[in-house]
Structure 1
């Protein structure tokens, strides 16, 4: 698994900075695309990456905790 543990922060910079707190990560199959479906009642982010050797996919999820206007 990648070195991203629950509680770490993720920053998404656009014209507005969005700060997310990682809630967890899990190994997924390449066919598990529903994990990135929008859920209208949730302010969350889902990032997909691979293990170093490319043999597994990892989904890292987080909740929005702050929005900073620049």
Structure 2
């Protein structure tokens, strides 16, 4: 799950945080096309997490682990 976080979850979420929160503050134009693409990627990633968390209490099983912590900002 840590690899999923670094390869699938983090890239679109980081992009969206920058584009939606920081770019306007710094006067950087938002890229609406890329925002839409990354919203879709992030939504797809969250679907995978929803499926997994419907099967177990935490990402890596029934106990809280580093896999869960790696998703915190």
The structure number with the bigger radius of gyration is 2
Same-fold call, TM cutoff 0.5: no
TM-score, scaled to structure 2: 0.23
In terms of fraction of residues, the more strand-rich structure is 1
Structure with bigger RCO (C-alpha 8 Å, 6+ apart): 1
In terms of fraction of residues, the more helix-rich structure is 2
